[in-house]
Structure 1
Amino acid sequence: TTNHTFFLREKEHFDYFSGTVLPDLKRNAKGGTVRIWSAGCSTGEEPYTLAMVIKDYLKEGGLNYRILATDISKKALSKAVLGVYPDESVSNIPLMWKMNYFTKTAEGLYKVSDEIKSAVLFRRLNLMDEFPFKRKFHTIFCRNVMIYFRSDTRARLLKKIYDVLEDGGYLFIGKSESILKNETGFKHVLPSVYRKD
């Protein structure tokens, strides 16, 4: 894991997630639970951002969802579960989010609300291990993780991710990453956004 992260990192991903992916998932959910995985979640900013985007989008509800957030680093996961961040981590987020989803501590730090925390389940997982999932995901964020892997390792990981993604599901990767056309069955949707046909 790498700990260079903050809320709303690569904002256009969250805009696309809110504007295109969520309406699509809501349309096709048919009363079921939408499953989202933040792979390589580091200290938790990404999955908490996803929870805030979803809360904002739903407002009155109408969609059951679960966010799983995994990382190999126990230290990063401990910070994520704690959910307390310095000012610079939250500097990109809308003021309404700061007001609705955070409490400012006496030390000037920002603590994620219990409402947002309860939407995210944190677990330790090495992406090289066999995935323990019994059900597939509708959306997977695996951003700025694969840049640290050799091409053969990356290809293996992408195959595993492809297999645990629902048909029509979305994969978001980092802006500095890309997937070769012949590497998987993913269809390129936008820069660093892919879909399983």
Structure 2
Amino acid sequence: MSNPSDFFSNKRSGFGMMPDMEEEQFLLWQNLLEERTGMCLAPQRKSFLQTSLGIRMRELGCDDYEDYYKKVTTGSGGGIEWSILSDRLTVQETRFFRDPDAMAFVKNHLLAMVKTAPQDRSFDILSMGCSSGEEVYSLAMLADECLSHLGFKYSVTGTDLSTVVLRKARQGKYPIRKLETLPASYRQRYCIAVENNEYQIISGLRDRTCFSQVNALNLDAFPVSGLSIIYCQNLLIYFRRWRRREILNALADRLVEGGILVTGLGEMVDWQHPNLVQVDSNKLSIYVRRDNNNQMGGR
């Protein structure tokens, strides 16, 4: 007589249940992700990896992790499949004005930089790991509020590894629930209602933004410099500490004198740079690039 549990196990398999991922298989995928993106997937995120792989494998009719690994890493279609998969593995949560304290500092610093800036200066801002664009548009709203009425130009560039979220970011369309953290004054000024109960960022603000696929491991291939603000929150936590230092060093070199680097609180507590001064705060992790007189402020 068959075991009743076998019957239910078979029924679950029929509905597309994926087998549990063995430790060796997890390590295989963990190493691949780190090798190609630099992101280190912690052991406690094994269930996330298993779920993400499982969804894609079911779409392909595959039920073996190692077979799918071979598909991703070999053959002419491996690169295409990796692109599809990495989009799903690297997308991070974001929202408008996610860190109000950091955003307030950015606004005040922009206002301070304007006081000594020549009229032809452009304030260029970079958002690393921008996901679906909420952070980019938050920074653009601040810049527009601080700079436009004074005649200063500005731009905000958002980068991410996922081409899928970058396409969404360029559209600048969000369901109304996504606007919950957006101050009402900004919503009224920078958003318009569109179809399907969504809102879209106005074209005048979208035109000041640019979105680009960038791997944080290959910043040397990203020709951007002279930045007034670099916003890099909730990205470094996915990298090993030595990689975090490399990324921060590369970003620091792209700041103008008086520019600021904003990181997540606790993401890199022991990092120092000879040309940067850390802001004294227990709520913020922000560094200011020294000017020629070793003073903080705009050039």
Q: Say which one has the larger Rg.
A: 2
Give the structure 1 partner of residue 113 of structure 2. 25
* Separation in structure 1 between the aligned mates of residue 143 and residue 226 of structure 2, nearest angstrom: 19
Correspondence for 2:207:
118
Worse-superposed segment, 90-99 or 139-148: 90-99
The two structures have a TM-score, normalised by structure 2, of 0.61
Greater relative contact order (Cα < 8 A, sep 6+) = 1
Q: As a proportion of its length, which structure holds more strand?
A: 1
Q: How is 1:1-197 mapped onto 2 (pairs within 5 angstroms)? A: 1-19=90-108, 21-30=109-118, 31-58=120-147, 60-129=149-218, 130-133=220-223, 135-181=225-271, 183-185=272-274, 186-189=276-279, 190=281, 191-197=284-290
Deviations 1:90-139 (A, max 9, x none): 10112222122111223211111101101111111111112432532111
Shift of 1:62: 2.5
- 1:29–1:63 CA contact under 8 A, matched in 2: no
Normalised by the length of structure 1, the TM-score is 0.91
Q: Which runs of 5+ in 2 are unaligned?
A: 1-89, 291-299
Q: Which amino acid aligns with 2:222?
A: P
Equivalent position SS for 2:115: helix
Percent identity, aligned pairs only, is 28
Deviations 1:29-76 (A, max 9, x none): 312111111111111001101111122223523311121111111011
Distance between the aligned counterparts of 1:177 and 1:132, measured in 2?
A: 23
How far apart, CA to CA, are the structure 2 residues paired with 1:29 and 1:179? 32
For 1:51 and 1:134, the matched residues in 2 are separated by: 18
Whole-angstrom distance in 1 between the partners of 2:204 and 2:198: 18
- 1:59–1:163 CA distance, 2 compared to 1 (3 A): closer
Select between 49-58 and 148-157 the one with higher mean Cα deviation. 49-58
In the superposition, relative to structure 1, how do residues 176 and 85 fare at CA in structure 2: closer, same or farther (>3 Å)?
farther
| Unmatched tracts of structure 1, length 5 or more | none
Query: How many residues of Structure 1 are paired with residues of Structure 2 in the alignment?
Result: 195
- Secondary structure of the corresponding residue to residue 223 of structure 2: coil
Instruction: Give the residue type in structure 1 aligned to 2:129.
Output: G
